[in-house]
Amino acid sequence: MNRIWNSIVGKLWATILLLVSFVLFIVTALLLEFFDNFHTRQAEETLLREANTIGSIIQDHDNEQAMQLVVHDILNNGTSAIIVDNTGGIAYSFHDKDLDAKPIESKILQDEELSSRSGKDSLSKQMILPSMTEKDVSERYIVSSAPVPNDRASHVIVYQSFEAIHDTTKWTTHIVLLSAFIAFLLTTFFAFFLSTQITRPLRQLKEAAFQLSKGNFNARIPVKQNDEIGQLSTAFNQMGRQLKYNMELIKQDKEQLSSILTSMTDAVITFNRDHTILLSNPQAEKLLQKWSFLNQETDELLPPEINHMLEHAITFAEEVDAELEIGGLYFVVAISPLYSRNSIRGAVAVLRDMTEQHQLDKLRSDFIANVSHELRTPISMLQGYSEAILDGVPETMEENHEMVKIIHDESQRMGRLVTDLLDLARMESGHMRLYKSEMAVVPFLLRVQNKFTQVAKDSEVSLSVQPNGQESLHIQADEDRIEQVFTNLIDNAIRHTPNGGSVTLSVEKYPKNVAISVTDTGSGIPEEDLPYVFERFYKADKARTRGKSGTGLGLAIAKNIVESHGGTISARRGDGAGTIFTAVLPLE
């Protein structure tokens, strides 16, 4: 019910209904008043006619009995009459025999205006007289008087109760009320029908508007009329089409911007004025997670350096850029203010992670320094011994031969260094070609063991192989390259293991790969240096040298060879002492 009254249909229907009901009420009241007065006048005129008629009958009829019969026939039901003689008394009285009319007649005769009407005009008036049906009750009566020009009577008085008039008007009242009720029903129906016809397009507009608010821009309203509501529907449909077109453009621009932000290698973060983050790309999310992990003791999402730059950009409306070191990471940060009309609503920050670039620059400088360092010694020795030979320093052929041998050994060392550098550069550029074939793992390790048996004996180091039941294990690999890896690992292990120590080659098979380990019992590599042992020219212990035969590139070359086979190589400290190098190669 509340839904109807809160709608335009209910309000319009109620307004029309109330207006028409008010008009019908006024019209019905006026009609009832009109018909009441009309019937009263009609009754007065009828009584006057009857009084005049009775007066004429009295004048024309000498026979009293015939006259009384005629008068009884003239009087209507509910109408009574008295004939007043010349003395003012009642000559004749005509009324229902069952009714007592004496109180009424005496009351009428007491009225001076009615009791002395001889020779005068007719008169009609309303009086309050006693009821003929109930005692001690008064009623309204219409009383009419007409003169009689006859010696037998002075005038005729005819009277009738208003109850008789009301009985006459009762049907008229029923008809008027029934007509008003039918008019009310018809008005209700047509008002509701009219309001429904008017508000149906409005309800359709409301539903379509809700659909638009939910994102359904295909909602349309059927246009069935050319009036203002039809024009409103047409304008609404045009608005829906335009909104759909604009939303598609915005969606395309948003998707394009999202794709650009996602594909960017730089971190992009949009801030509000209060430094809250509004938008960020995946790179920025990773960076924020990294900062949060590094700064777990504080609730700040951003480092204080960036907060300071952000505050400066928003306060002074200036672009700020700087290179920062945050938690051992290097970033180039550029922050620009964002405007909303003439006010600053926030800022956008672009952060480029330069950590890898710094590491590459450091590796490049370290590489140049290490190469220079590695080449300086043989070049100095070549220059020194060649100058000594030119200056005739060696006095005997044996001394001359020794110097020439040193020059030859240093030149070979330089050659090996250059060869290793070329191999490493070729591997890192992806130009190394592998010739894979089926390789039996345990026989391969036994062959490498035989290769270093004499070296191990000379160093008083025990060299052994632990097959662990994998004698029939085969993999697809370039055997020459894999031999180069383990040659380097075993050579390093023997050279860094003291006398009486041991070097063990072991094999472990897993569902998808095989792990081959080289374990020594030497002093081991410090824990903090293990992540860097595969870098070029890296030395964990400056006092520990590889000897003249080492170039410092063996482990870097070994790492590239293993990774070219789709595997990994790692180094860790042994359980008691020494170092364990493990190469993991795929089975397929």
Under 8 Å CB-to-CB from 42, ≥6 apart: which residues?
none
Task: State whether residue 332 is helix, strand or coil.
Answer: strand
pLDDT (0 to 100) of residue 387? 81
pLDDT (0 to 100) of residue 515? 92
Type of residue found at 134: E
pLDDT > 70 in the chain, percent = 85
Q: In sequence order, which ranges of 137-270 are alpha helices (DSSP H)?
A: 162-213, 228-263
Which of 551, 583, 263 has the alpha carbon at shortest distance from 439?
583
Assigned token pair, 443: 């026989």
pTM metric for this prediction: 0.41
Residue-wise pLDDT tens digits, 457-495: 888 899 999 888 878 888 888 888 888 888 888 888 888
User: Contact 132/100 with Cβ under 8 angstroms?
Assistant: yes
- Degrees (nearest 5) of the Cα angle 434, 439, 443? 135
**Model confidence at 427, in pLDDT bands (50, 70, 90)?**
low
In whole angstroms, what is the distance from residue 350 CA to residue 548 CA? 50
Identify the burial level of 489 via C-beta atoms within 10 angstroms of its C-beta, where 0-12 means exposed, 13-18 middle and 19 or more buried.
buried
Say yes or no to pLDDT of 507 above 80.
yes
pLDDT (0 to 100) of residue 543? 42
Mode of pairing for the β-strands spanning 90-94 and 79-84:
antiparallel
Mode of pairing for the β-strands spanning 462-466 and 502-509:
parallel
Phi, psi of 94 (to 5 degrees): -120, 115
Assigned token pair, 227: 């009036």
Say yes or no to pLDDT of 544 above 50.
no
pLDDT (0 to 100) of residue 6? 59
pLDDT (0 to 100) of residue 582? 92
**Once rounded to an integer, what is the mean pLDDT over residues 318-332?**
82
Q: For residue 321, what is the enclosing H or E element?
A: strand 320-326
Residue-wise pLDDT tens digits, 89-141: 777 777 776 666 777 777 877 777 776 655 467 777 878 888 777 777 777 88
Q: How many helices (H) and strands (E) does the chain have?
A: 15, 17
Greatest Cα pair distance in the chain? 206
